[in-house]
Chains A and B, each alone.
Chain A
Amino acid sequence: MDAEALERILKHAQPKEFPNKTSYNSISVRHISQLSKALSISGREIEIMALEHGVVPERYVRNMKAFSPQNQVALLKARVSIVGLGGLGGAVVEILARIGIGRLNIIDGDSFEESNLNRQFLSTPDRMSTSKAEAAAHRIKAINSALEVNMHARFLDADNSAQLLRDSDVCVDCLDNLKTRLVLERQCKQQGSPLVSAAVAGASGQMTTVFPEDQGLELIYGKEEDMPAKGAEVELGTLPYTVTFLAALQCAEVVKIIQNKSGLLRHKLLVADLDDGVIDILDLC
């Protein structure tokens, strides 16, 4: 089967040129979809096979000057859990699906309401009172049907976190409250998954990366017993450009973790105030 798949990938490969005139072999979205159906192999596996044999899925070609084929394969082999599918999560879903994270595990028990429309990319007026997780699953499949999606229309809690987050290479904290962030972090530490966490209030936002051995969110929020349920967002609301900016930063961290690159924001807090145009990286310890 693999030999036949490879033969057919190579048959459909077309020589093309990057904008700087260097050449590459390309395979189209349509051909990957056709091969997936004909051979009953997931599109993700066909894309991996293509990249491992010098053929670039055309949908990733603008990644390929920043990423090696091995980097792109690492993304396609990765399983990333996105917890919370609101402002941060909706933008993270969009970016990670487009960049080619192969397996997306999406978790949110909430439904859309009109107050989400200012910032949540997955929300539209015709989706009011419908599941955010289902909307995210549809969006991922619409962007890239080659990807594998596991959808959980449930809120994460201490009882279900081990089951919902298992086998995650990275978890992305896109939650909207402080307490559940700690539940997520506890499970990430227990199962050995890195966590990329962001939070927003008005035009201000912050982001950090926590590896299982790191002290983590306690450095930011203090002890659990001293922690309020919500933060400054209660007073300041949530602006679309702030959540999207922080979501983009989270995605860059996720990619660097999967590709084993340096420059992670561990033990550091990136803070941004988009009203004042201030962005700073602060040492947490």
Chain B
Amino acid sequence: MSKKSYIQLQLFASLKKFMPLSADNYAIEPGMTVGALLTQLDVPKTQIKLVFVDGVKVDLATTLAGGERVGIFPPVGGG
């Protein structure tokens, strides 16, 4: 069994309802992609516009090693 690592997860605005209880210390398999993380969280990909890892925009192929801060955003357009 591979060793678990942990990330700090933050889902914004309308995606908050997908936030797991363990978001501050969310277990992942090291090497997991951002896309796989989103699938695991059950967030519909059509509702996601932006993913940031440690404050930098990334794409879904980006891999996570553990220890990162991951922010996930829907499109926002109100005014």
A residues within 8 Å of B by Cβ?
84, 86-89, 174-178, 181, 198-202, 204-206, 219-222, 227-228, 230-233, 235-238, 243, 269, 271, 273, 278, 280-285
When A221-B49, A236-B14, A284-B57 are in contact, do A231 and B79 touch as well, CB less than 8 Å? Answer: no
Known A176-B77, A206-B76; further 4 A-B contacts with Cβ < 8 A: A199-B78, A204-B76, A220-B50, A238-B78
Chain B interface, number of residues (Cβ within 8 angstroms): 19
Contacts of B73 in A (CB 8 A): 206, 271
By beta carbon, the residue of chain B nearest A204 is B13
Chain B nearest CB: distance from A26 CB in Å? Answer: 37
Contact partner of A201 (CB less than 8 A), chosen from B10, B14, B56, is: B14
Q: Is the interface of A mostly helix, strand, loop or mixed?
A: mixed
Q: When chains A and B are docked, how far (Å) is the Cα of A232 from the Cα of B78?
A: 8
Contacts of A177 in B (CB 8 A): 77
B residues within 8 Å of A by Cβ?
10, 12-15, 49-50, 52, 55-57, 71, 73-79
* Contacting pair B52 A238 (CB below 8 A): no
Q: Is the interface of B mostly helix, strand, loop or mixed?
A: mixed
Q: When chains A and B are docked, how far (Å) is the Cα of A283 from the Cα of B74?
A: 17
Contact partner of A231 (CB less than 8 A), chosen from B56, B71, B78, is: B78
By beta carbon, the residue of chain A nearest B57 is A284
Contacts of A198 in B (CB 8 A): 79
Contacts of A231 in B (CB 8 A): 49, 74-78
By beta carbon, the residue of chain A nearest B10 is A278
Contact partner of B79 (CB less than 8 A), chosen from A200, A227, A282, is: A200
14 CB-based A-B contacts, threshold 8 Å? A84-B79, A178-B77, A200-B76, A202-B13, A230-B78, A232-B14, A232-B77, A235-B14, A237-B78, A238-B79, A273-B12, A278-B10, A281-B55, A284-B57
By beta carbon, the residue of chain A nearest B12 is A204
Chain B nearest CB: distance from A94 CB in Å? Answer: 15
Q: When chains A and B are docked, how far (Å) is the Cα of A199 from the Cα of B79?
A: 6
* Contacting pair A201 B71 (CB below 8 A): no
* Contacting pair A271 B12 (CB below 8 A): yes
